Chain A
C-alpha cells in the first residue's frame, strides 16, 4: 500500500512538473529536464541505471531508504531533444555543476515525503474508520458483539498481509531510472487514491455526519476497504509482473561497431522497460566492446578512398567563371555536379584494381599465426608457474616452517615468471587495456585460493568475455540514451526500432512479433507399430 501511494504521489507530482529524478545520480538529465519539450517527432530520452555501489552506500536513513528504493522507477524525465545542442563535454561539465545543486535535491526529497504521507494515509485509513466512532460518539455506540470482534482479527491480519505483500512487490531496489513515468504504476496509484478518497467521502457523509450507532456495520465497512486494497494489490501484480512474462516479441539487438547480435524474447512491454531489460542482458551476453579491434577496418577504408583523386573539370570551370565574372554561381548546378563527382569517384574506386583484399588475407593469416605462437608460449609459462605453488595441508600448517604465504603473496611470487608472456599475448590480441597488472594478480590469487588449474586461470584472458567480467569502471551504466521515434511509454509493436546509444557505440534494436503457433495433433496407436522383414536373401546351394 505504501508504494501504491508512492506512485500516486509520483504521478501526481510528475504530472505537475517535468522534473527528472535519479536515484543518487546527477547527470545531464537534470539539465535536459529544463529544456522545453520539442515538437519534433524524434525524442531523445535518457535512461540511467544506478550503479550498484551507490545503492548501498546512500542508504543513510532507514525510513528514507525504504522510500528511496521506490521512487526511482517512476521518475519523469527528458521529453525531447533540446532546442540548443550541446557537445558531450559541455553536458558533462554542466552535470558536474549540478551535482552540488540543492534545488533538485529538494525536489527529490519532496517527492519522497509526499509519497510517505500518502502511504501512511492509505495505511491508516481502516484503523481510522475503526477508531473514530469510539472517539466521537462512544456513548451512543452499540457494543461490539462476537462477530464484530472477530472482524477485528480479520482486519488486523489482512492489513498485515497487505503490508507484507506490498513490501514484497514494491519495496525492491529499483533496477533503473526510466525517462518517463511508469504508466501502469501511475495508473494504479491514481486508482488507489481515488478509491480511498471515495471511501472517505462515503464515511464522512454517511457515518460521521449521521453518527451511525451500528458499529458492526462500520467494522464491516473497514474490512471491505482492506479487502478491496488487497484486490488492487492483486491487480498490481498482474499488471506489473505477470503480464509481460508471456513472450510476445522477439527483439534483435545488434551492436553498431562490430555487429555482435543477440536475440531476446520479451512480453508486452513499453519501449522504456524493454530497453531496461535489454541493457541488463547486454552486460552479460555481449562480448566486451574493444575499440582497438576496429582500427584495422577503418584504416583500410581510409586507404581505399585516399588512393583516388578525382578532378572534375566542370566544377573547375564553373568556379573560374564565378571568380572571373563575380557572379555567385548556381548552387544547384554545383550540388548536381558534386553529386555526379561523388558517383564518379565511387565508380572509379570500384573499377580500380585494388589489391587490398590480398593484403587483408595475408595480414590476417600472419596475425593468426602470431597469436597462436604467443598463446602456446603463454600456456606453457603459466603451467610451469603453477607447478611452483603447492597448497599446504592443515597438519603441515601447524608446524609452520619459514616460507608460508597467503594467496596474495603466492600470486605475487609466481606472477613475474608469466608476466612477460601474458603481456605479449594481451598486446597481440589488443586486450591490454582491459586488464591491469593489479587485476591480473588479484585474479591469480583468486584462482590459487580456489584450486583452479592453469587453464581455468587463463580462460579469462584467452577469450573475450562479456562486460560483466571486467572491472566496474567498464560498465558505462550511467550513459545510455534511448532514441526512439515512437513515444517511449508506448508498447512494443511489430517493427518497432529504437536505439540505445552509448558514448562509443549504439545498440540497434528491432522488434518482431512471435508468430501465432498453430499446433496440430496426430494420434498414433501404440499397437500400430508393426514391422515385416524384407528378405532379399541369396542362398548358395
Chain B
C-alpha cells in the first residue's frame, strides 16, 4: 500500500531539467511565471489552479522553441521545487530570484500538471 501511495505522489509530479540559454549577458529559461503568496490570486488571473486559494507559482507562458519547451515544461504547470528550494509558499519575487540565479546554468524543477493527474487517475481506474 505504501508503495502505491509513493507511486501516486511521484507520478503526479514531474521532474524537468532546463538548461539555460545564454543570450548576451542574460540567462533565459524561456517561460513566464505567475503567482506567489504576495499576489492576489483569483480565477481570472490563474485559470490553471483548481483551488482558488492556491498561491503557488504557475507557468503562464512558454516561449516557443525555448529551453523550457524543449525540456518539456508546459503552460499551466505548477512549480513545486526549484533546485530543491520549495516553491509552494514563496513570494513572486523570491520565485523569480530562485529561477534566475546567475551562477546556475541548469535548473531542476519539480512540477505538477493537471493533465498528468487526470491521465494517471484514469489509468488507475482501469486497473
Binding site for B on A (CB under 8 A): 534-541
B29 and A538 contact, CB distance less than 8 A: no
Expressed in whole angstroms, the Cα–Cα distance for A327 and B63 within the complex equals 107
Q: Among B5-13, B31-39, B110-118, B119-127, which stretch is in contact with chain A? A: B31-39
Interface residues in B, total, Cβ within 8 A: 18
B20 to chain A, nearest CB (A): 9
The answer to whether B16 has its CB under 8 Å from any CB of chain A is no
Instruction: Choose among A534, A537, A540 the residue that contacts B92 (Cβ–Cβ < 8 A).
Output: A537
The answer to whether B100 has its CB under 8 Å from any CB of chain A is yes
Contact residues of B: prevailing secondary structure = mixed
Expressed in whole angstroms, the Cα–Cα distance for A541 and B68 within the complex equals 10
> With A535-B38, A536-B39 known to touch, is A541 a contact of B45 (CB < 8 Å)?
no
A134 to chain B, nearest CB (A): 97
Q: Which residue of B lies closest to A536 (CB)?
A: B45
Instruction: Choose among B38, B39, B45, B61 the residue that contacts A540 (Cβ–Cβ < 8 A).
Output: B61
Expressed in whole angstroms, the Cα–Cα distance for A534 and B40 within the complex equals 6
Instruction: Known A-B contacts: A537-B39, A540-B28, A540-B31. Give 15 more (CB < 8 A).
Output: A534-B40, A535-B38, A535-B39, A535-B40, A536-B39, A536-B45, A537-B34, A537-B92, A538-B32, A538-B33, A538-B61, A539-B92, A541-B28, A541-B29, A541-B33
The answer to whether B99 has its CB under 8 Å from any CB of chain A is yes
Residues of B within 8 A of A536 (CB): 34, 39-40, 45
The answer to whether B81 has its CB under 8 Å from any CB of chain A is no
B52 to chain A, nearest CB (A): 14
Binding site for A on B (CB under 8 A): 28-29, 31-34, 36, 38-40, 45, 60-61, 63, 92, 96, 99-100
B78 to chain A, nearest CB (A): 15
A and B contact pairs by CB, cutoff 8 A, 25 listed: A535-B36, A535-B38, A535-B39, A535-B40, A535-B92, A536-B34, A536-B39, A536-B45, A537-B92, A538-B32, A538-B60, A539-B34, A539-B92, A539-B96, A540-B28, A540-B32, A540-B33, A540-B61, A540-B63, A541-B28, A541-B31, A541-B32, A541-B33, A541-B96, A541-B99
List the 6 closest A-B pairs by CB distance, nearest first: A540-B32, A541-B99, A538-B34, A534-B40, A541-B29, A536-B45
Expressed in whole angstroms, the Cα–Cα distance for A538 and B28 within the complex equals 15
Q: Which residue of A lies closest to B38 (CB)?
A: A535
A466 to chain B, nearest CB (A): 57
Q: Which residue of B lies closest to A539 (CB)?
A: B96
Residues of A within 8 A of B100 (CB): 541
A377 to chain B, nearest CB (A): 60
B102 to chain A, nearest CB (A): 12
Expressed in whole angstroms, the Cα–Cα distance for A513 and B60 within the complex equals 63
B73 to chain A, nearest CB (A): 11
Expressed in whole angstroms, the Cα–Cα distance for A163 and B104 within the complex equals 102
Expressed in whole angstroms, the Cα–Cα distance for A538 and B75 within the complex equals 13
B64 to chain A, nearest CB (A): 13
Residues of A within 8 A of B45 (CB): 536
Residues of A within 8 A of B38 (CB): 535
Expressed in whole angstroms, the Cα–Cα distance for A158 and B45 within the complex equals 83
Residues of B within 8 A of A538 (CB): 32-34, 60-61
Residues of B within 8 A of A539 (CB): 32-34, 92, 96
A202 to chain B, nearest CB (A): 88
Q: Which residue of B lies closest to A535 (CB)?
A: B39
Expressed in whole angstroms, the Cα–Cα distance for A536 and B35 within the complex equals 7
Expressed in whole angstroms, the Cα–Cα distance for A536 and B34 within the complex equals 7
B93 to chain A, nearest CB (A): 8
Residues of A within 8 A of B60 (CB): 538
Expressed in whole angstroms, the Cα–Cα distance for A309 and B125 within the complex equals 88
Expressed in whole angstroms, the Cα–Cα distance for A220 and B96 within the complex equals 98
Q: Which residue of B lies closest to A537 (CB)?
A: B92
Q: Which residue of B lies closest to A532 (CB)?
A: B40
A489 to chain B, nearest CB (A): 69
B71 to chain A, nearest CB (A): 13
Expressed in whole angstroms, the Cα–Cα distance for A539 and B33 within the complex equals 5
A368 to chain B, nearest CB (A): 50
Residues of B within 8 A of A541 (CB): 28-29, 31-33, 96, 99-100
Expressed in whole angstroms, the Cα–Cα distance for A137 and B78 within the complex equals 120
